[in-house]
Amino acid sequence: MAEASFPDQTEDKGDDFLKEALEILMLDVVKGTDRNNKVCEWMEPEELLSILDLKLQNHGEPKDVLLGYCRDIIRFSVKTGHPRFFNQLFSGLDRHALTGRILTEALNTSQYTYEVAPVFVLMEEEVLRTLRHFIGWESGDGIFCPGGSLSNMYAINIARFHCFPHCKGTGLSSLPRLVIFTSQESHYSVTKGAAFTGIGMDNVIHVLTDDRGKMVPEDLDEKIQKAKSEGSVPFLVSATCGTTVVGSFDPLQGLADVCEHHGVWLHVDAAWGGSALLSNKHRHLLDGINRADSVAWNPHKMLAAGLHCSAFLLRDTTGLLKRCHAANAKYLFQTDKFYNLEYDTGDKSIQCGRRVDCLKLWLMWKALGSEGLEKRVDGALSHTRYLVEEMRKREGFILVMEPEFVNLCFWYVPPSLRCQQGSPDYWDRLGKVAPLIKERMIKKGSMMVGYQPHGNRVNFFRQVVVNPESTKDDLDFFLNEIERLGVDL
Ligand SMILES: *Cc1c(COP(=O)(O)O)cnc(C)c1O
Ligand SMILES: *[C@@H]1O[C@H](CO)[C@@H](O)[C@H](O)[C@H]1NC(C)=O
């Protein structure tokens, strides 16, 4: 008879490795936030491949070699926590949130049932409750999603289910032509979500925006009427608070009036701008958000909670989220469990296993309090103000528009192009400036900032200071560095 074979219990489990790797993590990752070090260490892909030994092999490797890999991984990764990393809508290394992320990884559980995630089921509810409170809802529902894009897709699915509950069973063939309304400035996940949910990208109708990038309620009203007269069913308006490029806020009161009048679900994509709700000074930007039916809000962006931390929140108190998504798997959500089944929240999700995303935010919130988070938001907005004022004092910095939030959009006009506005190739040449300056800063490793063309505008920089560790000196450095890197263009 063949003997059962068990794994060798004497093999090295890697306890020493873990201890030393955590030390490297503490030292090297935290060193990445030191402004005396580079933001990034640029390598061409071939060069990087020749330095890093990425090949997976038959044999295992010893501890010291593995620790070397860990150091190299840190060395050649972009330091997103660096105070001069302005490239994305996130930046910074909050030590409490980081601890929450490490704990989450170490405990390696899934958020679906109270049975396997007792603490996190209760914690998620508390965090969601608090976020809803800042929206102005004292009741409601919600769930953490892997990102704002997914939260927006949830909104599409929920709004459709709300109008046509039978479609969960009968599918698309039972539905009329459904249409979504959003602005030109909205995030691409709205159209992506329309494709994913079977609504179709052609059935996303773009509403006009004003010169500040804000949706025009009168145009929304007209377009809803027109769609209805053509036999389509408008079922969702996706407004944006804090658009991705220019940071504009749609006028929610006006949009809510139109949605109420037509009986259409109002979703607010506040993935980026939602954190302004924590600031008494700036929450007016989202005036009317309490009238929304659902909201997407990413604490992983402005609050620096770390990826992923994105909440999808609903005003509904009837259990719509669960009714819309539940599949009642008998092996996971048994109905004869010994505890209150209300605490098995996993069937609200379209996922099965779901990462714990609440702990990093919860721990950071406990450490800073709402007051500390408010200071972060206020700090980010005042940094942007400072940069605007400094740009006005310097030659060559042209604002694309006065910032409403922390998206500071500007062109840098190098000396050779100044006073050339009349020449026919002026805009073509200006459009080449940002990519060149960007290439130079990355190769030097001095800082990182994003650029893009937008509508009919040629490439401009989008500067975003959300890192709580960025100082006035970093902002001065930013302006000086753009001048240094662009002076000869
Ligand atoms: C970033 C962003 C999203 C997408 O969020 P992810 O978490 O990256 O998926 C959606 N909407 C807006 C307005 C955003 O700025
Ligand atoms: C984490 O949990 C998953 C199941 O959810 C399991 O497959 C995996 O082996 C666990 N990993 C570690 C490192 O414990």
- Model pLDDT for residues 118-151, shown as the tens digit of each residue: 999 999 999 999 999 999 999 999 999 999 999 9
Q: How would DSSP label each residue in 419-432? A: T-TTSTTHHHHHHT
Q: Report whether residue 14 contacts ligand 2, using a CB cutoff of 6 Å.
A: no
Cβ neighbors of 325 (< 8 A, separation 6 or more) are 157, 347, 348, 349, 350
Q: What was the pLDDT predicted at 278? A: 98
- SS3 of residue 283 by DSSP: helix
Q: Report whether residue 99 contacts ligand 2, using a CB cutoff of 6 Å.
A: no
Query: Of 298, 309, 312, which is best to mutate to test ligand 1, by the most ligand atoms within 8 angstroms of its C-beta?
Result: 298
- Tell whether the model's pLDDT for residue 466 goes beyond 90: no
> Where would I find the beta strands (DSSP E) of 27-136?
85-86
**Position 52: which residue type?**
L
Q: H-helix or E-strand containing 144?
A: strand 141-145
Q: What is the rounded distance in angstroms from the CA atom of residue 120 to the CA atom of residue 132?
A: 18
Query: Which tokens hold the place of 393?
Result: 């004092």
**Considering the chain, what is the average pLDDT of its residues?**
94
Q: In this structure, which residue's CA is closest to atom 12 in ligand 2?
A: 108
Question: pTM for this structure?
Answer: 0.94
**Tens digit of pLDDT for each residue in 323-380?**
999 988 888 888 888 898 888 888 899 999 999 999 999 999 999 999 999 999 999 9
How many whole angstroms from 102 Cα to the centroid of ligand 2? 15
Q: Report whether residue 110 contacts ligand 2, using a CB cutoff of 6 Å.
A: yes
Q: Give percent of the chain with pLDDT exceeding 70.
A: 100
How many whole angstroms from 108 Cα to the centroid of ligand 2? 6
Q: Which atom of ligand 1 is nearest to the CA of 149?
A: 9
**Tens digit of pLDDT for each residue in 61-103?**
999 999 999 999 999 999 999 999 999 878 888 999 999 999 9
Closest CA to 311 of 325, 292, 294, 297: 297
CATH numbers and ranges of domains, the chain? 18-86+394-489 (3.90.1150.170), 100-365 (3.40.640.10)
- Tell whether the model's pLDDT for residue 449 goes beyond 70: yes
Q: In this structure, which residue's CA is closest to atom 3 in ligand 2?
A: 108
Closest CA to 400 of 475, 466, 463: 463
